[in-house]
Amino acid sequence: MSKSHKPRSGSMQVWPRVRSKKIYSTIKSWVKSDSQNIIGFAGYKAGMTHIFEKSISPRTENLNVFTAVTIIECPPLKPLSLRFYKKTPYGFSVISQIFSKNLDKELGRKINLSKKEAKNEIPKEYDHIRLVVYTQPKLTKIGKKKPEIFELPLNGDLEFAKSLLEKDIKVSDILKAGEYVDTHSITKGKGFQGPVKRFGISLKSHKSEKKRRSPGNLGAFTPRKTDWRVPQHGQHGYHKRTDYNKLVSHIGSDPKEINQMGGIKQYGELKNDYVLIKGSVSGPAKRLIMLTKNIRGKKTLNAPEIISVSQSSKQ
């Protein structure tokens, strides 16, 4: 009799399966570059649509292909401050900070704004600079005013960093069509779930004792502990996840070219610049998506020629 084989249920590619601390992703690793620029951007996920474009693949060259894309609305980011870091035996530490002079009043919903003017001091010695920026959700239709604040590393000298303090940062200044980016986001939360939904294990036979939606056993008798690989109940969704090498199909500045009839489902109409990312991006509508330069170094392609974009209603 042949021996049956079934691979384990549930992917072990991503771990741990715990709730994220923030509703937007924090990034620990950034790509290093010699060019003078900012390494990332952020936008709000609006939804998905499909486009017809001329294929850039050698197999289907010059053919019109159907491609699913994710729409990310990207209102301009506003600079908050420049942070100067110094390396210490316990890691990098902030030694000084220069604040922007033009801050929005909505920023007071997130942090305490001092009425006194902060002292702008540039240290004589520092190891690297980071730009602190905040989003402008008030420019969108997602019904939110409280901004998000995060850091973006810089490639460039001090004069370049200081020039960024007094101007808005647009997505077209950082990204371009045909470029590969990494997307960092928090997935859709599904709460406390059992192992059948969480790991995809099969239901036990109706003849089995006790539970039906649980694993058959929790592992070997020795050692006397439950291994972390055993599928069990717990948090499902609302995890921090990163997708590598997502193609930027198009960057547009006219929302009329992308708005769908009746508005995008669960989002509404776009009012700002937008980015079309090939394929899906994790997270629900209205969630902040972090876009960074690809850390795995996939080469930039020629921007695909878009023939048409679907604006039909998805309601």
Residue-wise pLDDT tens for the chain (315 aa)? 677 777 666 676 777 889 999 999 999 888 887 788 899 999 999 999 999 998 877 787 778 899 999 999 999 999 999 999 999 999 999 999 999 888 899 999 998 877 655 566 888 889 889 999 999 999 999 999 999 999 999 888 889 888 999 899 999 999 999 999 999 999 999 999 999 999 888 899 988 888 899 988 898 999 999 988 888 999 999 999 999 999 999 999 999 999 999 999 999 999 999 999 999 999 999 999 999 999 998 888 888 889 999 999 887
Nearest to 45 by CA among 308, 247, 275: 275
DSSP state of 196: H
- Edge-first strand order for the sheet with 149-155 is 37-38, 149-155, 128-134, 78-88, 91-99
Q: How far is CA 267 from CA 46, 73, 169, 213, 222, in A?
A: 6, 10, 23, 36, 53
What class is the 76-169 domain?
A: alpha beta
Rounded CA separation 145/130 (Å): 25
In degrees and rounded to multiples of 5, residue 210 shows phi and psi of 55, -120
Please confirm whether the linkage preceding 16 is cis (ω < 30° from 0): yes
Rounded CA separation 115/295 (Å): 40
Q: How many of the other CB atoms lie within 10 Å of CB of 4?
A: 5
Rounded CA separation 138/156 (Å): 31
Q: How many of the other CB atoms lie within 10 Å of CB of 84?
A: 22
- Could you tell me where in the chain the CATH 2.40.30.10 domains are found? 34-74+171-198+232-315
In degrees and rounded to multiples of 5, residue 100 shows phi and psi of -75, 150
176-202 residues labelled b (16+ CB within 10 A) or e (exposed): ebbbbbbbbbbbeeeeeebbbebbebe
Question: Could you tell me the two tokens for 44?
Answer: 């709000």
Question: Could you tell me the two tokens for 229?
Answer: 């690989």
Nearest to 133 by CA among 93, 187, 173, 95: 173
Nearest to 135 by CA among 294, 290, 292: 290
Question: Could you tell me the two tokens for 163?
Answer: 């020039």
In degrees and rounded to multiples of 5, residue 233 shows phi and psi of -75, 160
Rounded CA separation 233/213 (Å): 10
Rounded CA separation 63/233 (Å): 47
Domain 34-74+171-198+232-315 has CATH 2.30.30.240: no
